[in-house]
Amino acid sequence: MKPLADGTLPHEGSPYWVALKQFEEAASVLGLDEGMRSFLRHPKRELTVNFPVTMDDGSLRMFTGYRVHHNTVRGPTKGGIRYHPLVDLNEMRALAMWMTWKCAVVNIPFGGAKGGVIVDPDELSINELRKLTRRYATEISILMSPEGDIPSPDVNTNQQIMAWIMDTYSMHKGYSVTAVVTGKPVEIGGSLGRQAATGCGVMLTTREALKMHGKTYSDVTVAVQGFGYVGSFTAKLMATEGATIVAVSDVSGGVANSNGLDTEALISYVEQNKFVQDFPGGDAITNEELLAYKCDVLAPCALENQITSQNADRVRAWILAEGANGPTTPEADKILEDKGVFIIPDILCNAGGVTVSYFEWVQSLQSFFWSENQISDRLEHIILEAFHAVMSEAEVRKIGKRVAAQVLAIDRVVKATELRGIYP
């Protein structure tokens, strides 16, 4: 693997290493020359911010955050903001790169970005969380704008945090700038359907994969890792379509019932108890057991690097629906492919969120809002078109679906780069 221009070489197995390894494979299929490869390997710009927050007890605590823009050739950058103790610059680089490919695979006019703060938000009071968010938003506001970079929620961030970011940016401008973030509440310019959008994309792409095998949701069992924003909507929507959800998990552990879990009851339980642990409708399992649970569809919807060379051979599902970004390592990919697992790669599977974020951005810019039906019809149209484009790329080139999705996406970015030319 080639280092970046500043000598950076991500350590083997890290998310950025995984992203670069996937990129090199797709770049080889496309026959890209080293100049173009090098351009696409590099993030365009990166900002590290160290900032103070006054805690409730009067003490001052420093936090570190990032915002990385990977590529802006196809439009302004789009990407989530994550609050997590394990956030680091290389993780942000990987996630920003995947966002570029994700936007390109669904053919929406954005480049990729990602941001995050090293923090466990559970350790903060609501007041501290609000202050941290407003200060971080202020620090990254030199990169953020409706025309340049539009954040959205990711792990441990939500509608409320987007509302605070939008308000902070607007206070600095002196007027409301609703299009600066997506995933904000509907009351302040958010889009109908955004909350469910990522899970909806996972549900739609999996439905198409099932169709290709002559099956419907009523024929299958599903296990979902991660029961946050993406995982809970994935489980709920698949259950509504007739699937039997046999296992779910979160950071606290998991719960399983081979006869099916009541997803609505689980969602209410998590609203009250925060975690799925001790849910009375099933038996306790670990996250490792969940990944190996007997089911037809496994939907990892938590973090990167969950399915690895250590556990891939234990996966019993025959469809892998990647709600999370980067849940599967390249070594695990090979094991799963050899086992005949049908992989719906992350940049396609979880692209429903950024697609409705695109709709939200358009609506916010125009202050003209669409109905829920318009949104779900347009989402379905875009996701299905991308799904079938990836399947035909895989078929024509005789390559795996992950490489096919990346090839389709990278080719679009390359074409845009060639048309614009390298400045000056």
Residues recognised as catalytic? 114
Instruction: CB nearer to ligand NAD: give 111 or 323.
Output: 323
Strands (E), 149-215: 149-153
Cβ pair 108, 142 in contact under 8 A: no
How many other C-beta atoms can be found within 10 angstroms of the C-beta atom of residue 272?
6
Alpha-carbon gap, residue 230 to 82, rounded angstroms: 14
Q: Of the two residues 39 and 289, which places its CB atom closer to ligand NAD in the complex?
A: 289
Q: How far is the CB of 91 from ligand NAD (least distance, A)?
A: 10
Angstrom distance (rounded) from CA 76 to CA 281: 45
Stretch that binds ligand NAD, among 149-157, 261-269, 370-378, 400-408 (CB under 6 A): 149-157
Instruction: Judge whether 216 and 370 are in contact, CB under 8 Å.
Output: no
Of 179, 291, 301, 413, the one binding ligand NAD by CB under 6 A: 301
Q: What is the contact mask toward ligand NAD in residues 320 to 349, using x (rule: CB under 6 A)?
A: ---xxx------------------------
Residues 181-210 that bind ligand NAD (CB under 6 A): 198
| CA–CA distance, 65 with 111 (Å, rounded to integer) | 20
Q: Give the shortest CB-43-to-ligand NAD separation in angstroms.
A: 17
Residue 87 CB-half CA count within 13 A? 27
Query: Exactly one of 298, 302, 347, 390 binds ligand NAD (CB under 6 A); which one?
Result: 302
Is residue 353 at the binding interface for ligand NAD, with CB under 6 A as the rule? yes
Q: How far is the CB of 156 from ligand NAD (least distance, A)?
A: 5
CA–CA dist 250, 269 (Å, integer): 13
Q: How far apart are the C-alpha atoms of 351 and 409, rounded to whole Å?
A: 12
Q: Which stretch binds ligand NAD (CB under 6 A): 59-67, 154-162, 364-372, 390-398?
A: 154-162
Closest listed residue to residue 320, CA positions, set 274, 92, 301: 301
Our CB check for ligand NAD shows the closer of 111 and 153 to be 153
Beta partners for 77? 111, 149
Contacting range for ligand NAD; rule: CB under 6 A; set: 3-11, 35-43, 59-67, 301-309: 301-309
Distance of CA 211 to the CA centre of its chain: 24
Q: How far is the CB of 89 from ligand NAD (least distance, A)?
A: 16
**Using CB under 6 A, which of the segments 46-54, 151-159, 255-263, 411-419 binds ligand NAD?**
151-159
Residue 154 as a binder of ligand NAD (CB under 6 A): the answer is: yes
Closer of 108 and 155 to ligand NAD (Cβ): 155
DSSP 312: G
Count of chain residues binding ligand NAD (CB under 6 A): 25
Please state the closest distance from residue 194 (CB atom) to ligand NAD, in A.
8
CB of 219 to ligand NAD, least distance (A): 26
| Residue whose beta carbon is closest to ligand NAD | 228
CB 52 within 8 A of CB 129: no
- Give, rounded to a whole angstrom, the gap between the first and last alpha carbons of the chain: 29
Member of 153, 189, 190, 345 binding ligand NAD (CB under 6 A): 153
Task: Say whether residue 113 binds ligand NAD (CB under 6 A).
Answer: no
**Alpha helix positions (H), 182-250:** 194-212, 229-240
Q: Which one of the spans 30-38, 296-304, 383-391, 415-423 is the region binding ligand NAD (CB under 6 A)?
A: 296-304
Q: Considering only residues 209-268, where is the footprint of ligand NAD by CB under 6 A?
A: 225-231, 249-251
CA distance 156 to 129: 11
Task: Examine residue 76 and say whether the peptide bond preceding it is cis (omega within 30 degrees of 0).
Answer: no
| Measured distance CA(268)–CA(54) in Å, rounded | 34
Q: How far is the CB of 411 from ligand NAD (least distance, A)?
A: 22
Give 90 or 176: the residue with its C-beta nearer to ligand NAD.
90
Cβ neighbors of 304 (< 8 A, separation 6 or more) are 15, 18, 91, 94, 324, 325, 326, 327
Question: For residues 157 and 221, which CB has a smaller minimum distance to ligand NAD in the complex?
Answer: 157
**Positions in the binding site for ligand NAD (CB under 6 A):** 80, 153-156, 198, 225-231, 249-251, 287, 301-303, 323-325, 350, 353
